[in-house]
Structure 1
Amino acid sequence: MYDHIADAMGTPDLVRADDGLVCLRFETMKIVSALTAVRTLLDRGVVRPGDTLVDSSSGIYAYALALACHRYGLRCHIVGSTTVDRVLRAQLAVLGARLEQVAPGDSLELDQARRVARIREILAAHPEYHWMRQYHDRIHYLGYAAVADRIRREVDTRELVLVGGVGSGASTAGLAHYLRQHSPGVGLVGLQPFGSLTFGAAHVADPTMIIAGIGSSIPFDNVAHESYDTVHWIGFEAARAGSVELLRRHAVFAGLSTGAAYLAALWERRLCPRRTVLFVAADTGHRYVEAVFTRPDEVPAVADLAPRQVDSQDDLTLPWSRMDWAGRPAPTSARHPAGR
């Protein structure tokens, strides 16, 4: 029996989608890292019950941190973007978390910069607050050790390829780190949206929308570029097709980043039929009903989609590009973290 709902929600499911294709399904993935990070801070004496934790979020991490604070008796202060919807606002309010939404900017970069600036103002007024720094503190890797243990118990990791969003850097890199301690040959495939600078695609805009959560317009310390073997850049329409096909074929209701992961996993499975490909489903599809699932017959067939193989970011092209990253260092634009 779980002691708190956050413990239950942070426990993922492993679902066999096909021969050699496995889905690692979370209800809300960042609960894993937030719970372990907060518990570690308490164990180390960095924070104590009743203290206030503060961070920036576009939505999912805000919920995860609020649940972790509820679980361990701390206060939560979130500087959020305008993408935090009314359903999440209501949950945060009842959980006792304070939410500030910054005024919308002309770009995602401006939005993220404004949130960081606001956090600095809060810390100047309240130096006793602890900034979680989900983008820069590798304490957020720790929660994925238990998930890696779960994967090893149920999947042969000797010939495993892990596919998932890069995002803040902690999830896929963290999973690969712990899996590789026992199986050094685990492959790592990262997903990026067009417009993200993390792997050098800021110059290519997606005309529809950027897929929240798997990319960034400011540098993140937690991204271990050298851990990735392959990078896929996937646009909104292609990811949407993946999400719809995943629900139609396997009854897995998940968000856009999962649709992108499913699409990339199918391709990697085709390239390496002898290996098991595990893709990460980071959250459910509820936030995406209107944007993704209400007109399923309008999306392209997944069988008709294929990535353009590129050797340089200069050749990136919508709706989908793939590059053998081969453990390269971070692009120059991603090397100097903002928000320290």
Structure 2
Amino acid sequence: MDTSKRIPFEVLETTFIKVLTRHGFEQNKAEICSKLFAKASLDGVASHGLNRFPAFLEQISRGRVLPDKDPVKEFSLPIMERWNGQLGAGMYNASLAMDRAIAMATTNGMGCVALSNTNHWMRAGNYGWQAAEAGCIGICFTNTTPNMPAWGGKEPKLGNNPLVIALPYLDKAVVLDTAMTQYSYGKMAIYRKENRELPFDAGFDSEGKLTKDPFEVIAEQLALPIGLWKGAGLSMMLDLMASGLSDGQSTHEIGRQKEEYGVSQFFLCLHPEVLGIPKEKLDERIGNVLADLKTSKVFEGMEISYPGEQSFVRREENLRLGVPVDTEIWEKVVKMIE
């Protein structure tokens, strides 16, 4: 993959907006979705930014993502709401859901939103940053189509069900963004395109042997659960909570469709200051933990980073130098507005 080309963040974002408006998005919705796509690439997660953009447009053309649909609130309490995404754009729906959780937390100390019948939210970490930038602790997760085996299984029965946990810290954040698989399918797709093996075992081949070959893992949909049986168990619990609280589809129901759409998600926010914890005190506690972490001895050639640290480093660099893009994919997107 040739990523020697760099594009100013604003150009990346405005190009996405122009394409989406041509695909039936009203301006505000196009701007929100485009910013989230662009921010993913800005932070170094092109697998869920520019690289995923053409696939998103294909879902629109197949009628899986409905640009003109907005989420509808079906149930509400002062600290909990349930929404139906109506198969609208997943990034827009997720951004709205996190906004609602933030609003409730700002008033009541905590707030949560369960969202059914929505679509892929692309980079999960975006919504953790969204919460942290509003001064909230944010937790969110989604289910997916079956793409991971139960521990000991030889067929995909579980989703890789990404989980995000974010805490505000100074003018930054600590943000964990992790799928339940050792590698996300987006990351494996990058290695497959480059015809490279992954650095560590990524899943199982057709004979049940561990492999670093992205071609085999993607073909079999047998990605390796994080923590082995523990990741498999956590995946199931996230699926049960997301589908149960949203009254939406579970992973096995999504799998029957033979295509991923109509997924279930959950968003939780806690506002420390409303809950009686001053920002300065939380910042000090987090800072002490991170400082201690950085004192760790390391193996040769290794370094210690906390969750989200490298995203912030890449963000600053790419704002200054331009966002690295896959030249082939970028040129394909640009042609859509010529």
Q: TM-score of the superposition, structure 1-length normalised? A: 0.27
- The one of the two structures with greater contact order (alpha-carbon pairs below 8 A, sep at least 6) is 2
Q: TM-score of the superposition, structure 2-length normalised? A: 0.28
